[in-house]
């Protein structure tokens, strides 16, 4: 048994034991960020709703724990009301139904889950703006607000719902929309040095790019680390589904930027490009997301290149386990020091459910589980 296998298996057992404890309180609900050691439960329409059931499915795949399966199924059922009755569904339908319905369909063949996921895919495809070749992000947050021209880097992780739908139905329209959005990301979101814009605003009528915006990063010219992580994983997934080498080469460029800006402990700061007087809290969730992308990227590149990305992904995950994990305390989250929205002061030093999810997904990959929910 290698040293790597030892720490991965050790970490996995810690996770299994902890989720066995925390699932008894969290139940079939939707944790978002942990405050004072306990996950605050969000409404089921919130974009992070599927990360808890997705985490449960990751563990169920390995342990066959029927209790975790039942909780994940109940979470998926609760999302029916969101799909059917909620007026503000947005681009994050991919996150919400990939990690619930697609995951259950891939694991158990549930026809009900397949139907839910295909409905979500059709709704997501309906947000495609043909003038600018992008999937619109949010609906207005406040009365009078116009978000009709907004697209964000995070949406790359929603595209696999559409790629999956094309594979499942044989209908190329879903994949076509995904590729057009991904091509727009290549053109307008990725800078030449591999750093990434979080938000780009387009004219929704003409499709013209109007401006790049800072979003959850420090500003329009900064380098928000979680956005960089979304790009690594999202572009690699687009290559996985399409074979388009433009996505692969750009994912490599973004990965080089990300890895070259990691601090000594391999867990990124919230933003890689800040003025000297600005606070730089960690974002462990960005590290976990990037690690998953790097491990997939390692499987897509040449044998000579592969160890670069493999080692980086493993080092991030090992540091998260050894230096950021909470295994013996009263904290419900798995991974400490996540930063959700620093500009708004929201959850700036908290465990985040998506950080926990991607940490577990990365470890599952190191354990040999190669099939993607995405």
Instruction: Given the residues 154, 271, 283, 356, select the one marked as catalytic.
Output: 154
Alpha helices in the chain (DSSP H): 3-26, 51-63, 66-85, 93-97, 103-108, 111-125, 159-169, 173-188, 225-242, 245-260, 284-300, 306-319, 353-366
Active site residue 92: yes
Angle of helix 159-169 relative to helix 173-188, nearest 10 degrees, comes to 150
CA atoms within 13 A on the CB side of 92: 17
Instruction: Given the residues 90, 92, 271, 283, select the one marked as catalytic.
Output: 92
* R_g over Cα of the chain: 19
Residues whose CB falls within 8 Å of the CB of residue 53, separated by 6 or more in sequence, listed in order: 28, 71, 72, 75, 76, 99, 100, 103
Residues whose CB falls within 8 Å of the CB of residue 330, separated by 6 or more in sequence, listed in order: 37
CA atoms within 13 A on the CB side of 165: 28
The answer to whether 364 and 373 have CB atoms below 8 angstroms apart is no
Number of C-beta neighbours around residue 140 at 10 A: 12
The answer to whether 338 and 347 have CB atoms below 8 angstroms apart is yes
Instruction: Measure the CA–CA gap between 193 and 254, rounded to whole angstroms.
Output: 8
Number of C-beta neighbours around residue 178 at 10 A: 30
Active site residue 154: yes
Number of C-beta neighbours around residue 107 at 10 A: 17
122-127 long-range contacts, CB within 8 A, separation 24+: 122/165, 123/83, 123/89, 123/93, 124/91, 124/93, 124/94, 124/158, 124/161, 124/162, 125/162, 125/165, 125/173, 125/174, 125/177, 127/90, 127/91
Question: Distance from CA of residue 216 to its chain's centroid?
Answer: 15
Catalytic residues: 92, 154
């Amino acid at each position: 048994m290698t040293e790597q296998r030892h720490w991965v298996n050790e970490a996995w057992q810690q996770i299994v034991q902890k989720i066995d404890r925390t699932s008894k309180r969290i139940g079939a609900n939707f944790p978002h960020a942990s405050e004072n050691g306990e996950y605050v439960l969000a409404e089921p329409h919130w974009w992070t709703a599927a990360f808890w059931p997705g985490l449960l499915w990751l563990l169920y795949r390995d342990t066959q724990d029927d209790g975790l399966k039942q909780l994940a199924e109940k979470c998926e059922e609760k999302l029916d009301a969101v799909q059917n009755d909620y007026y503000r569904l947005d681009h994050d339908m991919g996150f919400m139904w990939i990690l619930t319905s697609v995951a259950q369909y891939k694991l158990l063949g549930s026809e009900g889950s397949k139907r839910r996921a295909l409905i979500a895919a059709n709704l997501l495809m309906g947000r495609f703006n043909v003038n600018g070749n992008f999937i619109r992000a949010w609906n207005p947050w406040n009365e009078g607000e116009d978000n009709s021209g907004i697209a964000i880097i995070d949406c790359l992780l929603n595209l696999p719902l559409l790629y999956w739908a094309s594979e499942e139905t044989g209908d190329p329209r879903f994949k076509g929309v995904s590729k057009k959005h991904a091509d727009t990301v290549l053109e307008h979101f990725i800078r030449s040095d591999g750093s990434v814009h979080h938000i780009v605003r387009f004219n929704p009528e003409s499709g013209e790019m109007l401006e790049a915006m800072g979003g959850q990063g420090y500003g329009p010219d900064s380098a928000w680390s979680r956005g960089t992580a979304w790009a690594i994983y999202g572009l690699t997934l687009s290559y996985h589904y399409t074979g388009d080498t433009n996505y692969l080469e750009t994912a490599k460029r973004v990965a080089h930027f990300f890895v070259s800006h990691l601090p000594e402990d391999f867990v990124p700061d919230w933003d890689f490009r800040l003025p000297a007087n600005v606070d730089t809290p960690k974002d462990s969730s960005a590290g976990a997301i990037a690690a998953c992308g790097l491990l997939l990227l390692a499987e897509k590149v040449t044998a000579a290149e592969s160890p670069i990305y493999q080692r980086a992904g493993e080092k991030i995950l090992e540091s998260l386990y050894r230096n950021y994990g909470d295994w013996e305390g009263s904290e419900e989250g798995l991974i400490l020091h996540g930063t959700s929205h620093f500009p708004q002061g929201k959850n700036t030093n908290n465990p985040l459910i998506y950080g926990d999810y991607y940490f577990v997904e990365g470890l599952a990959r190191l354990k040999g589980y190669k099939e993607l929910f995405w």
